[in-house]
Amino acid sequence: MGIDYIDYETTLSIYAKTVEKSGGGMAGVRDEGGILLMLENVQNDLYYPEIADKAAYMMFSLCRGHYFTDCNKRISITLTMYFLLLNGYLFVAQTFMKDMEEITLDLAAGCIEKELLTDIMHCLVNGEEYSESILLSIAHARAQRIEIEKQFEE
């Protein structure tokens, strides 16, 4: 079974719908080259051999790459979910959406690295519970993010 990939036009269409349906924002592309490179790199089976590796790379790149003028966290969730659904991972949808909102905030704050995100994705696509070490790492990242948010509130 081959993997279906998302093209640039579809990415832009999903981005526009994400902005529109999620309450707006300053829609626009900030780094077209970054988006194109991410869409190309995700297809590299040497670096990203499994669907979970590809999904983690896509989400990490979209969230941290700031390829769009606004809604980078939202598009990282939406496009990655679309990628998983496109490839038959319907059973992942509920858990993905429930877990990824907070994880994306942690990711955007720089508190979750790609390795942890990849471990999380592997659990999700394989229908596995998070291990104790993953849960502890998520809790640590969440605590870090909360501390960062408190600094901005002061």
Q: Which pLDDT does position 31 carry in this prediction?
A: 96
* Domains by residue range for the chain, with CATH: 8-153 (1.20.120.1870)
Q: Which pLDDT does position 1 carry in this prediction?
A: 65
CA separation for the pair 54, 125 (Å, rounded)? 11
User: pLDDT tens digit string along 30-58?
Assistant: 999 999 999 999 999 999 999 999 999 99
Q: List, in order, residues 6 or more apart from 81 with CB less than 8 Å away.
A: 93, 96, 97, 100
- Number of C-alpha atoms within 13 angstroms, CB side, residue 8? 12
Task: State the amino acid at position 60 in one-letter form.
Answer: F
Task: State the amino acid at position 39 in one-letter form.
Answer: L
Q: Which pLDDT does position 27 carry in this prediction?
A: 83
Instruction: Report CA-CA distances (Å) from 139 to 39, 86, 117, 133.
Output: 31, 30, 13, 10
Q: Which pLDDT does position 126 carry in this prediction?
A: 95
Ranges under pLDDT 50 in the chain: none
Q: Which pLDDT does position 61 carry in this prediction?
A: 97
Q: Which pLDDT does position 108 carry in this prediction?
A: 94
Q: Which pLDDT does position 50 carry in this prediction?
A: 97
